[in-house]
Amino acid sequence: MYKFTQSGDTYVVSINNHEELVAALAQFCTDQGILAARIDGIGAVSSATLRFLDPATKKYVDGTFDEQMEIAALVGNVSQKDGKVYMHLHATFGRRDYTSIAGHLLCARINGAGEVFVTRLSCTPGRRFDEETGLNLYQF
Ligand code: FE
């Protein structure tokens, strides 16, 4: 699913080709016992599903893009919710025509490289559902 090496608190993770990126990262964090981290990465995908939350309706609008795209920027964090790894990832994808799409990342299929830095944090923030925003917000 992935390979990795470590430099201090930072793990250098290579997601295997054709793996689903979000699931692979969650599995990596679970395997390594990482309960809090920052994430940044690059690579390429053959498809991605992005999510947009409409604050007015608190309804999610999901969009799937089945095309080859560069992961121009993958950023996010790892925390825990209900004792499990909770990923919060946003991504900007570059298209063939050099335009980009971006949003909250639900899933993406690696097609090429998937190079992600996972920097472990010493705190262990949790998450709690917030009625006002409809989001699982940090709980400190
Ligand atoms: Fe988000």
Phi and psi at residue 55, in whole multiples of 5°? -65, -25
What is the Å distance from ligand 1's center to 76 Cα?
8
The model's pLDDT over 121-133, given as tens digits with 9 standing for 90+, comes to 999 899 999 988 8
pLDDT for position 100: 98
Ligand 1 centroid, distance to 53 Cα (angstroms): 8
pLDDT value of residue 87: 96
Q: Determine the distance separating the centroid of ligand 1 and the alpha carbon of 40, expressed in angstroms.
A: 14
Q: How far is the CA of 90 from the centre of ligand 1 (A)?
A: 6
Q: Give the per-residue pLDDT at 104.
A: 97
Q: What is the pLDDT of residue 58?
A: 85
CA distance 93 to 74: 9
CB under 5 Å of ion ligand 1: residues: 104
Task: Give the Å distance between the CA of 50 and the centre of ligand 1.
Answer: 10
Q: How far apart are CA 140 and CA 129, in angstroms?
A: 13
- Residue ranges of domains in the chain, CATH in brackets: 2-123 (3.30.1330.80)
**Per-residue pLDDT tens over the stretch 49-108:** 999 988 888 889 999 999 999 999 999 999 999 989 999 999 999 999 999 999 999 999
Q: 88 CA to middle of ligand 1, Å?
A: 6
Query: Rounded to an integer, what distance in angstroms lies between the CA atom of residue 78 and that of residue 10?
Result: 13
| Close Cβ partners of 71 (under 8 Å, ≥ 6 residues apart) | 41, 42, 43, 44, 45, 91, 92, 93, 108, 114
Tokens standing for residue 75? 């950023």
What value does the mean pLDDT take over residues 37-56?
Answer: 96
φ/ψ of residue 57, rounded to 5: -105, -15
